[in-house]
Amino acid sequence: MSGAQRCAIVGGGLAGLISYATLRHGGFASSEIAVFGTDADPAAEWRQRAAAIRQQRMRSESSGHCAPTSFPGLAVRAAARTRNPLPLVQTVFDRFHPTVDEFLEHAAEVRERSGWDESFRPRRIRQVRAVDEGFELDGEGRFAHVLLAPGHPGLAFPDGVGRDARVVHAYQAHDYADRVEIVGAGMAAATEWLNALAAGAEVVSVRRREPERRPLNLPRELFTRRGLAAFHRTSRDERVGFLRRWSAPSYPHGRGWDEPVENARRAGRFRVAAELNGGEQIICATGFRRGFGHDALLAQLVADNELETAEGWIVLTPDSTVPGLTDETRTLSLAGVPGQWAFPAADTLMGAKYAARRFLRRVQTCRSR
Amino acid sequence: MSFTLRGRLETRLATSLAPLVVGSALALGLREWWPVELAAIMVGAGLALDLTVYHRFLPYQPGWIAFPLGLLELGVVMGIVFAVGVRAPLGAAVLLFVGAWLLGQALVHAAFPLAQLSYGEDGGELGSAGPAAVTAVVALLAGAGGIAWATQPPTVHLAAGIHQGPLVIDHSEKLVGEPGAVVRGGIIVTSDDVTIRNVAVTGGEIGIKIDGAENVTVEHVRISGTSLDGIQARRASVKIRDCLIYSPVGEYSQGIDISFGFDLAPSLVDGCTILGGREGIVTHFAQVMISSNNVSGTTLRALGLTEMSMVMVEGNQVENSLGVGIYCGDFSECEIKDNVVGGTRPDVASGDLTRLGYALVAHSGAKAEVSGNVLSRNENASKAFLGGRITPG
C-alpha cells in the first residue's frame, strides 16, 4: 500500500489510552500511531464524572486498569507501593477496589510511560471515510488501521423531565438541596443516594424497577471466552435481548451501600417512588444515551457504508471489528460502548482491553504490517 | 477467572511441564522412579478433576479457592500414591506437590498473563502455545514411560520340572515359575528389586534366603522340607504374600524369619500358611506388618516378635501352638488386633512358667497393645513377664 500511515485511534479517553498502551506494548512506535481527541488528558472526562458523583472507589477490581498486561494488577501495585499485603489478600477474595485517586494516578502513569503525548493530536474527528486499503480521517490523512473509541454519546435524561433549574444530571457538577429526587437505580444512583443522605438531604429514589445487585456490571463469565462463546453464538434477536437485559441498572452488594439507606429509611429520610413528585432538586442518575445513532461520527459511518445494525448496535465480528470494512489490508475496530455487539461489557476497562488486544492482534497479523 | 475447558486443560498441562522436568531430573539423580510417578499422578489427577469437577462446578474461579482446591488435589494425589504403592517419601512428595502448586499459581496469575495479553479473557487458553504444551507433556511422559518399560527387570521363566539349587539371584529380575516348577536346595537373593512368583522350593537349609536386598517380593511360593528357615530375610525389605510353608525337617526350623532390617522400609507377611516348625513367623529388630496368615502346630511359639521389633499383627489365625501363641519380647512394640488364637497348649516339659499355654505374652520390657482379639481354648489367655506390658488398644 502507499501513502497510508499505520494506526489511528479516534477518541482520547480511557479506551483510547488502553488501546494506545496496548499497541505500544505490541511493538508499535509512537510515530506509527496517531491519537485524535479533544483533551490531552485521557482521564479528563472520566475524572469530571467521578468527581460529580463524588465517587471514592472503583467498582472494578484489581484488573480494572489501563496497562496493557493484566499483571501486575492494581492490587499488586498497591501492595508494592504501600509494602502492605492487604490488597493482595483482598484481591484473592475479589474484595479489592482501588480508590479513584489510585486509579487516576495509575492512568497518569500509563499516559506518561506509553508516550501518549507524542502521538496525541488535539482534533475532533467528525468523519471516517473508507478508502482503498485504509480510512481517511477527516483531512488528517489515510490510516490502514483505525480504532474508534468515541465514548458515550452524551448524557441521558429521562423522558418527560424538563430542563429547568431543578434538574441536573448526576455526572454534572452539583450540590444537594434539602429534598432530592434521584432518578435511576444503577451504580451512579446508589452513589448519589449516599451522597445526598450524607449531605443531610431527604431522598426520594425514583425508579420503576428494583436494581439488580452484582459485583460487576455483568456476570463474571461474560468477561471471558467461557461466557462470550455462548454470547457470540446467539442470533441477532437473541443478542439484542441479552444486551437489553444486561443493560439494566445494577450496583454491588455490601453493607456500605445498604446500611446508610436502611438507617435513613427508618428515620424517614429515604423512600422509593415510581414517579417524580415536585422535589426541590431532581438528579438524573440515568447514565448515557444509548445507540450509535446518537453519535454523529458512527451514524455517518453506518449511513455511508450501509453497515449492518441491530436496533442501536452496530453489528461487529467477535473481535470487535466492523465486518465489511475490515480485511487483510485494513482494520476498523470499535472500542468502548459501541463495541457491545462483540463484548457486552465493552464500556468497562476490561471491555476496552478486549477490543484493544484484538485490534493489536489483527494489526500484527495484517498483511500490510 | 473463568476458564474454558480447553483453557483449563492447556493451563494444567503447561503448568505441569516444570514439575515433570523436575521429577525426571530427580529420578535421574536418585535413580528412583517415584518422582516421575508422582509428577505423572499429579498431572493425571489434575486433568481428571478439571474434566469432571472443576469445569462443571466452577464457571468462575475466585482466587481464594485455589487454596482449598490445592489441598483437595494434594489429598487425591497422596491417596493415589498410597493406593498404587508409589514408593515416594511423604515429605519429599508433599514438597514436590507444594512446589508445583506454587509455581502453577505464579504462572497462572503472573507469567501467562504477561506472556499472552488475552490469557484471562481467553479463559486460560494459550493459543499456539497450548498444543505445544500438550505435545511437550505427552512427549515427556512417553519418554519416561518408555525408559521405565525398557529398564524393567527381565523376567526369567522357570520351566516345569525340578531345578537343582541353590539358585543365586544377584541382579534385578523377576523369577516366575511355570506350573510344576520346583527348586531343590533353595534360592538366594542378594540384589534389590527382585520378584519371585509361583515357585515351589524343597529341601536345603533355607528355602528362600534374602540377604541385604530391598524391594524384594515373594508371591505364591510353596516351601517344604527345609531344615532351618522357610524364608529368611536378613537386613532386607521384603513383601511376602500368599505363601505355603510346611513339613520342616529340622529341630530348630522356622517358617519365616525377618531380622535386622529396622532401618529399612517395613516388610510385609500377608496371606501365608505355615504348618509346624519351631516358630512360625519371627522378627528380630525389624519393622514388619504381619496380616491374615494362618500359623499352626508350632513347638516354641507361632509368632515371635523380639529384639526391639516394631510389629503390627492383624487378622491372623494362630492354632495349636505349644507354649505360647503370640510372643512380644525384648523391648519390642507390638500392636496386636483382630487375631484369633486358639488351642495353645502348656509346655510343661520345658519347666518354663512363661510357657504354660498362653495365647499372648509380653516379655522383657516389651509393650503389646491388644484389641479385638479372639482367644479361645487356650490354657491361659495372656500375661506379661519381666517388665512386659499388655495394654488395651
Kindly state the average pLDDT of the residues B332-356: 96
A170 burial level (CB within 10 Å; 0-12, 13-18, 19+): buried
What pLDDT shows up at residue A264? 95
Determine the residue among B2, B3, B65 to mutate to test chain A binding: the one whose Cβ has the most chain A Cβ atoms within 10 Å: B2
For cell 524369619, name the residue. B257
Q: What pLDDT band is residue B33 in, cutting at 50, 70 and 90?
A: confident
| Cβ burial, residue A4 (10 Å; 0-12/13-18/19+) | buried
Say if the Cβ atoms of B60 and A72 lie within 8 Å.
no
pLDDT at A357: 96
Partner-chain residue, chosen from A72, A92, A226, that has the shortest CB–CB distance to B59 = A226
Expressed as residue numbers, the domain containing B11 is 5-150
Beta carbons of B2 and A357 less than 8 Å apart = no
CB of B284 closer than 8 Å to CB of B306? yes
| B367-371: long-range pairs with CB below 8 Å, 24+ | B367/B328, B367/B332, B367/B333, B367/B334, B367/B391, B368/B328, B368/B334, B368/B336, B369/B333, B369/B334, B369/B335, B369/B336, B369/B337, B369/B393, B370/B336, B370/B337, B371/B336, B371/B337, B371/B338
The reported pLDDT for the residue numbered A2 is 44
Same domain, residue pair B134 and B253: no
pLDDT (tens digit, 9 = 90+) per residue, B91-116?
999 999 999 999 999 999 999 999 99
Residue in chain B lying closest to A23 (CA): B117
Q: Are residues B225 and B127 in the same domain?
A: no
**Cβ–Cβ gap B123/A71 under 8 Å:** no
pLDDT at B10 over 50: yes
B170 Cβ partners below 8 Å, 6+ apart?
A: B190, B191
- CB-nearest to A225 from B109, B114, B123 is B123
Q: Residue A325: is its pLDDT beyond 90?
A: yes
The one-character DSSP state at A337 is: G
Q: pTM value?
A: 0.73
- Band of residue B390 on the pLDDT scale cut at 50, 70, 90: very high
Domain A167-211+249-284: give its CATH architecture.
3-Layer(bba) Sandwich (3.50)
How high does pLDDT run on average in chain B? 94
Q: What is the mean pLDDT of residues B365-369?
A: 97
pLDDT value for A158: 87
**Residue B391 Cα distances to A323, A339, B334, B366, B367, angstroms:** 84, 77, 10, 11, 8
Same domain? B109 vs B258? no
Domain match, B232 and B135 both:
no
Contact of A346 with A325, CB cutoff 8 Å: no
Report the pLDDT value the prediction gives residue B178, as an integer from 0 to 100: 95
User: What number is the average pLDDT over the span B319-331?
Assistant: 97
Question: Which pLDDT score, from 0 to 100, does residue A212 have?
Answer: 87
Put simply, the answer to whether B2 touches A227 (Cβ < 8 Å) is yes
Within a 10 A sphere around the Cβ of A211, how many other Cβ atoms?
A: 18
A209 with A248: CB under 8 angstroms? Answer: yes
Query: Measured between CA atoms, how close is A315 to chain B, in angstroms?
Result: 21
User: Is cis: bond before A68, omega within 30 of 0?
Assistant: no
B295 and B251: one domain? yes
Q: Which residue has the higher pLDDT, A223 or A314?
A: A314
- Residue A96, chain B, CB below 8 Å: the answer is no
Interchain CB distance below 8 Å, A225 and B110:
no
Do both B210 and B323 map to the same domain? yes
CB contacts < 8 A (A, B) = 67
pLDDT band at B68 (very low <50, low <70, confident <90, very high): very high
Would you say residue B61 has pLDDT above 60?
A: yes
Chain A nearest CA to B58, separation (Å): 10
pLDDT for position B392:
93
Distance (Å) from the alpha carbon of B15 to chain A's nearest alpha carbon: 17
Q: Are residues B175 and B301 in the same domain?
A: yes
Cell of A348: 468497562
Residues B387, B348 within the same domain = yes
Nearest-Cα residue of chain A relative to residue B2:
A221
Among candidate residues B99, B134, B150, the one where a domain is terminated: B150
Residue A4 confidence (pLDDT): 56
Q: What is the mean pLDDT of residues B62-74?
A: 94
User: How do residues B109-147 score in pLDDT, each as one tens digit?
Assistant: 999 999 999 999 899 999 889 999 889 999 988 888 888
pLDDT beyond 90 at A265 = yes
**Which residues belong to CATH 3.50.50.60 in chain A?**
5-154+289-365, 167-211+249-284
Who among B2, B64, B114 is closest to A224 (CB)?
B2
> The complex's ipTM?
0.85
Q: Assess whether B172 and B146 both reside in one domain.
A: no
Tell me how close the Cα of A320 comes to any Cα of chain B, in angstroms. 14
How many domains does chain B divide into?
A: 2
The size of chain B, in residues, is 393
Q: Which of A240-254, A299-313, B234-248 has the lowest mean pLDDT?
A: A240-254
Quick check: B206 pLDDT over 60?
yes
CB B297 within 8 A of CB B271: no
Residues B162 and B305 in one domain: yes
User: Using the beta-carbon criterion (under 8 Å), do B118 and A357 form an inter-chain contact?
Assistant: yes
- Which of B96, B119, B150 marks a domain boundary? B150
- pLDDT single digits (tens) A157-177: 988 777 788 899 999 999 999
* Res. A11: pLDDT tops 50: yes
DSSP string, A301-336: HHHHHT--EETTEE---TTSB-TTS-SSS-EEEE-S
pLDDT digits (tens, 9 = 90+) for A190-226: 999 999 999 999 999 999 888 888 888 788 888 888 8
How many Å apart are CA A286 and CA A277, to the nearest integer? 17
Asked if residue B290 lies in contact with residue B267, where contact means CB atoms within 8 angstroms, the answer is no
The reply to whether B251 and B125 lie within a common domain is no
Given this model, what pLDDT does residue B335 score? 97
Q: How much is the pLDDT for A1?
A: 41
Residue B299 has pLDDT above 70, yes or no: yes
pLDDT confidence of A368, banded at 50, 70, 90?
A: very low
Architecture field, domain A5-154+289-365: 3-Layer(bba) Sandwich (3.50)
Looking at B91, B115, B150, the residue that finishes a domain is: B150
pLDDT at A367 over 80: no
Q: What is the pLDDT of residue A366?
A: 74
- The helix (run of H) or strand (run of E) holding residue B216 is strand B216-219
B271 pLDDT above the threshold of 60 = yes
Q: What is the arithmetic mean of pLDDT over B85-91? A: 86
